[in-house]
């Protein structure tokens, strides 16, 4: 395991190194030291030059092979800092670290493409700067970046275009699948929120008594379970399972967790994954209620910025992990965050507390259903239509009346229309029969 020192600079206040420490560990590093500074950014070194000398001494003392900044570094700053450190010590900034973690967790073609796209978008504005720095430094392959090729910028743009086209094709297939699911009577609910908020644990709680059919051709990507670990970025792709909420047939999708201070280009690179949230019928925004009030507020603001830009579905805020919070503290947080999280549902995915309240809220917030009554003639295909109604709607009453069947049910408007069409296709028995 590689030893690293984590670093953070803030303009004011005290620097919180907890997240970058967790990120570093999630990437497989061993954090052996930390350093922070409160001051305005230095154009040359990001930190003050004296603090960089202090960092160099700490690196030498801890035998660290890399330093990880919880900040965005420009290429010149990266170069200047490296020049002050012991030889061959790598300088990694926050976004390089996040991309490294994403790369480690990308197990599907879609995830791999999104990581590659993000990496290319990160590299593109740096290509010219790398060339300038390489010319200033006599050693070829400056900082492990490789010799500069004048065609590199064109290559990057061509690769970005190719990846975007492939991701667009994947997105089109996923949109078709979403519509197939809705046409089959499913409501689509997405879990969103910060990484480590407990989304995967909550998903397991909502679906833990439900088995996914092995011969379900319509939903080939339904996984038997979602991973649940105390680890950042456990879920990089999406996992979809049937969820038990009551009379509605719900497909619940767990998506990649949000992270603070992500630039637009990085969020945009994962748009294909976030489409599972943007195009859902309902979004459950999961927040870790055991965190400090300030942390919850900051994460709610960032989540809203990400969601409300494109999302059209209703959003229900879920305060998770209430097993780690006493009632008085929970009520204080409810009151303080009421403007950002009106009427949240407080649950524990770990213990199952208040899960029934959450499922009831899901049913209430999903798009309204219509109630319909159909009188079907008893002909050869009638029972297949009745069976279809049981599979795609919530049947409240089925009654046989002579040569007819009365069925009362609830369903989405689209499903009600299909049911009416199926009923209309049933022909009455001929008089000569």
Residue 199 annotated as part of some ligand binding site = yes
Residue 198 annotated as part of some ligand binding site = yes
Q: Show Cβ contacts of residue 117 under 8 Å, excluding neighbours closer than 6 positions.
A: 160, 163, 164, 167, 269
Helices 413-425 and 152-183 cross at an angle (nearest 10°) of 50
Contact assessment for residue 319 and residue 348, using Cβ atoms and an 8 Å cutoff: no
Q: Pairing mode, if any, of strands 239-244 and 249-254?
A: antiparallel
The CATH number fitting domain 3-92, selected from 3.90.1150.10, 1.10.3720.10, 3.40.50.12160, 3.40.50.11060: 3.40.50.11060
Residue 195 annotated as part of some ligand binding site = yes
Low-confidence spans in the chain with pLDDT less than 50: 138-146, 208-235, 430-433
184-365 under CATH 3.40.50.2000, yes or no = no
pLDDT in tens, 344-360: 999 999 999 999 999 99
Residue 51 annotated as part of some ligand binding site = no
Q: Show Cβ contacts of residue 62 under 8 Å, excluding neighbours closer than 6 positions.
A: 3, 5, 32, 33
CA of 321: how far to CAs of 58, 191, 230, 352, in Å? 37, 15, 13, 10
Q: Show Cβ contacts of residue 433 under 8 Å, excluding neighbours closer than 6 positions.
A: none
Q: Show Cβ contacts of residue 217 under 8 Å, excluding neighbours closer than 6 positions.
A: none
pTM: 0.69
**d(Cα 391, Cα 23) in Å, to the nearest integer?**
44
Residue 254 annotated as part of some ligand binding site = yes
pLDDT in tens, 206-242: 884 444 333 333 333 334 444 444 444 444 556 788 8
Residue 256 annotated as part of some ligand binding site = yes
Residue 200 annotated as part of some ligand binding site = yes
**d(Cα 369, Cα 411) in Å, to the nearest integer?**
5
Contact assessment for residue 280 and residue 187, using Cβ atoms and an 8 Å cutoff: no
Q: What is the CATH number of domain 370-425?
A: 3.30.70
Domain map (residue ranges) of the chain: 3-92, 184-365, 370-425
> By C-alpha distance, which of 80, 30, 79, 36 is closest to 55?
36
Residue 28 annotated as part of some ligand binding site = no
Query: According to the model, what pLDDT value does residue 236 have?
Result: 52
Query: According to the model, what pLDDT value does residue 309 have?
Result: 66
Query: According to the model, what pLDDT value does residue 228 have?
Result: 45
Q: Report CA 141 to chain centroid distance, whole Å.
A: 36
Q: In what helix (H) or strand (E) does residue 173 lie, and over which residues does it extend? A: helix 152-183
Residue 193 annotated as part of some ligand binding site = yes
Q: Report CA 67 to chain centroid distance, whole Å.
A: 28
Residue 196 annotated as part of some ligand binding site = yes
Q: Pairing mode, if any, of strands 3-10 and 66-69?
A: parallel
Query: According to the model, what pLDDT value does residue 268 have?
Result: 66
Query: According to the model, what pLDDT value does residue 173 have?
Result: 87
> By C-alpha distance, which of 49, 31, 30 is closest to 39?
49
3-92 against 370-425: fold identical = no
Residue 349 annotated as part of some ligand binding site = yes
Residue 321 annotated as part of some ligand binding site = yes
Residue 13 annotated as part of some ligand binding site = no
Q: Which string of DSSP letters, residue by residue, matches 14-53?
A: ----HHHHHHHHHTT-EEEEEEEEESPPBTTTBS-HHHHH
Residue 255 annotated as part of some ligand binding site = yes
Helices 109-123 and 271-278 cross at an angle (nearest 10°) of 120
Residue 257 annotated as part of some ligand binding site = yes
């Amino acid at each position: 395991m590689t030893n690293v020192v984590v670093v953070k600079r803030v303009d004011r206040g005290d620097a919180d190194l907890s997240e970058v420490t967790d990120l570093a560990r999630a990437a497989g590093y061993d954090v052996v030291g930390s350093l922070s500074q409160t001051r305005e950014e230095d154009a040359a070194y990001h930190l003050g030059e004296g603090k960089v000398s202090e960092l160099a001494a700490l690196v030498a003392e801890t035998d660290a092979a890399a330093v990880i900044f919880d900040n965005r570094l420009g290429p010149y700053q990266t170069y200047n800092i490296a020049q002050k450190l012991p030889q061959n010590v790598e300088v990694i900034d926050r976004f390089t670290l996040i991309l490294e973690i994403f790369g480690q967790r990308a197990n599907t073609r879609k995830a791999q493409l999104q990581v590659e796209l993000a990496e290319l978008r990160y590299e593109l504005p740096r290509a010219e700067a790398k060339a300038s720095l390489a010319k200033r430094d006599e050693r070829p392959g400056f900082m492990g970046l490789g010799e500069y090729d004048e065609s590199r910028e064109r290559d990057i743009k061509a690769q970005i275009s190719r990846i975007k086209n492939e991701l667009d094709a994947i997105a089109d297939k996923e949109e078709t699948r979403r519509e197939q699911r809705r046409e089959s009577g499913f409501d689509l609910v997405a879990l969103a929120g910060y990484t480590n908020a407990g989304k995967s644990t909550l998903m397991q709680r909502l679906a833990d008594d439900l088995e996914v059919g092995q011969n379900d051709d319509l939903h080939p990507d339904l996984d038997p379970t979602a991973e649940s670990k105390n680890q950042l970025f456990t879920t990089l792709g999406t996992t979809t399972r049937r969820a038990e909420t009551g009379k509605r047939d719900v497909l619940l999708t767990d998506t990649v967790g949000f992270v603070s201070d992500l630039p637009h280009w990085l969020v945009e690179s994962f748009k294909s994954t976030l489409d599972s949230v943007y195009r859902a019928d309902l979004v459950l925004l999961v927040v870790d209620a055991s965190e400090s009030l300030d942390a919850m507020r900051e994460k709610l603001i960032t989540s809203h910025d990400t969601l409300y830009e494109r999302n059209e579905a209703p959003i229900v805020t879920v305060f998770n992990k209430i097993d780690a919070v006493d009632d008085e503290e929970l009520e204080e947080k409810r009151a303080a965050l009421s403007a950002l999280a009106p009427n949240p549902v407080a649950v524990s995915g770990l213990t199952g507390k208040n899960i029934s309240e959450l499922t009831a809220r899901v049913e209430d917030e999903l798009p309204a259903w219509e109630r319909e009554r159909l009188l079907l003639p008893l002909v050869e295909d009638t029972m297949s239509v009745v069976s279809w109604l049981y599979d795609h709607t919530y049947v409240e009453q089925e009654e046989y009346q002579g040569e007819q069947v009365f069925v009362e049910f609830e369903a989405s408007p689209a499903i009600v229309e299909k049911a009416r069409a199926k009923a209309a296709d049933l022909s009455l028995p001929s008089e000569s029969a």
